[in-house]
Structure 1
Amino acid sequence: MVDYIVVGLGLAGTSFCETLRRNNKTFVVFNDRSQTSSRVAGGLYNPIILKRFTLSWKADEQLFYATEFYTQLEQFLGVHFNRRLSVLRKFASIEEQNLWYEAADKERLKLFLDTQLVTNNNPHLNVPNKLGKVLHTGKLNTSLLLDTYEQWLVEQGIMHYGTLDYNKLKFGSKDVVYGAITARHIIFCEGFGLTTNPYFKYLPLQGSKGEYLIIESKELKEESLVKFSLFLIPLGNDRYKVGATYNRGDKDNDITLWAEKEIINKLNTLLKCKYTVVGQEAGVRPTVKDRRPLVGKHPQYPNMWVLNGFGSHGIIIGPWASKALFEHIEMQRPLDKEMDINRFLPN
C-alpha cells in the first residue's frame, strides 16, 4: 500500500513526486520516456511574455516559489542544474524600446523589467538598438535534473519503466489497484501522452511541437540569454541552443528539415560570426486551447487526478501547481478555477 501512483516523469511528474517526498508521502512512479518535451526544453524560467511585454499567467506567484523549490532540490540531489542568467530582449525599433518603458511602469511588471537598458558590446551580435533586461531569470539543465531525480527513484526501488496499462487499473471507493500495487490515489502527469489516456482524452490538450538547434561558435562568447525572434541560450563550452519553433500540426518527436531552415534563417539575422550546427532536438509541448494548465479530479473516479497542460512554462508552473494539487487532495484546499479541469465539464 502506497499513498500515490504517479504516471509520467517530466517536469510535472518530477515536481509532484518531490512535493510528495517533502510531505513524507509514499509513492511509486511509472514512466515510458515516450514524451521528450521536458528533456529538450530550453530550460528558461522567465516571467515575461517578451513578444508583448506582459506577465505570463500568475508568474509573479509562481516564479519565486519555483526558484526556492529548485534550490532545495539541488541541495537534496547534490547536483547543480540551475544557472542564474540574464535575459536580454533585442528591440527591433525605438518604438519597441518605448513600449518597454511603459510596461516597466506597471505595478506587477516593475519587479521584472529593468529600466536601465543594456548596450550591446558583443561585436558578433547584430543589435543596432539597446536591449531590455529581464530580472530574476535563469536556466535549468532539465536533462540533468530529470536524470538525477530518476536515478534517486531507482535507488529507492520505486521507479517502474514501461507503459502503464490503463485496462488493468481497478478502482475502489478509497483506493486504486494496479497489479500488486494498491494506492490511495493515482496522478497522471503524461504530458502530450495524455491524448491516449482513455480517462482524460476528453480534455482539450492540443500539443505544439517545438524544435531547437544546437550550434557551436568559437567566436560568439555570449553569456546572456538573448531574445530576438527566437532565444539564443548559452550552454557553455562555446555551444548554444537556439529556438524554439511552434508547430501545432506536427505531433511527433522527430526533427525536421523545415524547422532547421526556419531557425537558421532567423539566427542569421542576429549573428555576425561563423557557427556550426551540431545537433537538433524536438518535442511536443502539452498545450491547451485556453492556455491554462489541466489540474484536478476525474469526474467519475474520486481517486484519479491529472497534472498537465503546462505548455512552454512548465519550469515555473510545475512546482506551484504540484503544491496546489497536493494541498487540494490532502487538505481540501480549493484549486484555482482557471486551471481546474472542472471548467470543461458540461454545464
Structure 2
Amino acid sequence: MKSVDYIIVGCGLASIAFCETLKTNNKTFVVYDDASQQSSIVAAGLYNPVILKRFSEVWKAKEQLELALPMYAKIEIDLNIKLDYKLKLLRRFNSIEEQNQWLVASDKLTLEPYLSTEFIKNRNPNINTDFDFGEVLHAGRIDTKTLILEYKLSLQENEQLESEHFQYDELKINSDEINYGDYKAKHIVFAEGFGIKKNPFFKELPLNGTKGEVITIKAPDLKIDYAVKSSVFIIPMSDDLYKVGATYEWNDKTNTPTEEGKAELIKKLKIVITCDFKVVEHKAGIRPTVKDRRPLVGRHTTYKNMYVLNGLGTRGVMIAPYVAKKLYNYIENSVVLDKEIDISRFG
C-alpha cells in the first residue's frame, strides 16, 4: 500500500486549489479523476470582483483575489505556462438609470476600489451602445482549460494522478485511515463538482447544478482587446477569436451543447455587436451551484476523515483558493469553518 496524507476525488478548480494548499504545507496526496466533469474546462475563467447585474460586491471578493492571483502566478512559474490574462472589463449600460446606479455603487466603501467613475465612450463602430461603458478594475481571465490540462499532466508525471472512475463501494473507511485501491490515507476530500450527485456520502447536499453553454466566435472586424459584459459576456482570446456566454439552464443536466443554447447566445450577441461572425466552437458544462450561492465545505457527519469541497458556482476561479485554505485549516489546525460555507448549515 502507498501511504499519502490525502486522497482527492476530482480535478477541477476546487481540487487544484486544494492540491496547491497541500503542496505549500508539505502534505502528500493522490488525485482520482475520470474527466467526466466539464464545467471548469468550459468556463470562461473571468475573475471579476463585482456582480454586474446588480452592481454589488462579490462575496469576499478582496479576500478571494488576495489568495487566488498569487496561487495562479505560482502555478505559472511551476509549470512554465501562461494562465493569467489581465483584461479591461467594460459593462455596457442600457440606460441613464444604470449609469446612475453605477455611480451610487461606486461610492460604497467595498466597491470603490473596483468601479471607475469615468465612463468610457464607445469608439468601435462594430459595437452597439447608446449609453457608454463603465469600467471594472482589477479584472482578468484565467485560462482554465490550459490550467486543468497542464496540471493533470504534471500530476501524472509525478505519479499523483489516477485517471479512472472512483468506485465508492470499494472505499474502506476506518477510524484512523482511508483505504482505496493501492492507497491508504489519513483523509479523503471529494471535489467532484456536479459529479457529487452520484456520491453516496454527499449526494443529499443541496447542490442543484446549472447548465451553462458557451460559444467561441471568429469576428475579424470586431477588433477589441477588452471584455464586454452585457446580457452576454464577450471575451477576447487571440487570432480574432472571442468567447461568448453564458446560458443558464436548470433542468438539463447533460454536458451536451444544444441548438437552443447556441441560438440564445447568438441572439443576445447580435444586440451588442453589428459585424459578421462565425461560430467555431460550442461547449457546455454543469456548474456546481447551491441554492444559497455559497460553497459546500465540511466534514461528513459519520466519517470524521471524509470531507467535501464543492459548490463553487459561477465564480470558481476566484473562490477556489479561498475555500481550499479554509478546508485545510479546518482539517489540520481545527479552525472552525465559517457558518455560511459549512455544510452543517443544511442540517
Q: Give me the TM-score of the superposition, normalised by structure 1.
A: 0.98
In the alignment, the residues of structure 2 paired with residue 167 and residue 212 of structure 1 have an alpha-carbon distance, to the nearest angstrom, of 35
1:285 is displaced (CA, Å) by 0.1
Provide the residue aligned with 2:178 in structure 1: 176
In the alignment, the residues of structure 2 paired with residue 14 and residue 228 of structure 1 have an alpha-carbon distance, to the nearest angstrom, of 30
Residues 19-30 of structure 1: pairs in structure 2 closer than 5 A: 19-30=21-32
**Is 1:15 the counterpart of 2:1 in the alignment?**
no
In the alignment, the residues of structure 1 paired with residue 273 and residue 132 of structure 2 have an alpha-carbon distance, to the nearest angstrom, of 16
In the alignment, the residues of structure 2 paired with residue 219 and residue 106 of structure 1 have an alpha-carbon distance, to the nearest angstrom, of 38
Provide the residue aligned with 1:156 in structure 2: 158
> In the alignment, residue 163 of structure 1 is paired with which amino acid?
H
SS at match of 2:116: strand
Provide the residue aligned with 2:91 in structure 1: 89
**Is 1:73 the counterpart of 2:75 in the alignment?**
yes
Residues 1-347 of structure 1: pairs in structure 2 closer than 5 A: 1-345=3-347
Q: Give me the TM-score of the superposition, normalised by structure 2.
A: 0.98
In the alignment, the residues of structure 1 paired with residue 324 and residue 61 of structure 2 have an alpha-carbon distance, to the nearest angstrom, of 15
1:128 is displaced (CA, Å) by 1.5
SS at match of 1:277: strand
Q: Deviations over 1:162-201 (max 9, x none)?
A: 1110001111111110022100000000000000000001
- What is the aligned-residue RMSD (CA, Å)? 0.7
SS at match of 1:9: coil
1:73 is displaced (CA, Å) by 1.5
1:122 is displaced (CA, Å) by 1.1
1:68 is displaced (CA, Å) by 1.4
| Runs of 5+ unmatched residues, structure 2 | none
SS at match of 2:217: strand
> In the alignment, residue 167 of structure 2 is paired with which amino acid?
D
1:115 is displaced (CA, Å) by 0.7
In the alignment, the residues of structure 2 paired with residue 235 and residue 56 of structure 1 have an alpha-carbon distance, to the nearest angstrom, of 25
Identity fraction in percent? 49
> In the alignment, residue 314 of structure 1 is paired with which amino acid?
G
In the alignment, the residues of structure 2 paired with residue 33 and residue 65 of structure 1 have an alpha-carbon distance, to the nearest angstrom, of 26
In the alignment, the residues of structure 2 paired with residue 285 and residue 74 of structure 1 have an alpha-carbon distance, to the nearest angstrom, of 25
In the alignment, the residues of structure 2 paired with residue 250 and residue 165 of structure 1 have an alpha-carbon distance, to the nearest angstrom, of 25
SS at match of 1:100: helix
Q: Deviations over 1:105-149 (max 9, x none)?
A: 000000111111111111110021110000110001101011111
* Residue-pair matches, total: 345
In the alignment, the residues of structure 2 paired with residue 334 and residue 84 of structure 1 have an alpha-carbon distance, to the nearest angstrom, of 34
1:57 is displaced (CA, Å) by 1.4
1:64 is displaced (CA, Å) by 2.1
> In the alignment, residue 224 of structure 1 is paired with which amino acid?
Y
1:274 is displaced (CA, Å) by 0.8
> In the alignment, residue 265 of structure 2 is paired with which amino acid?
I
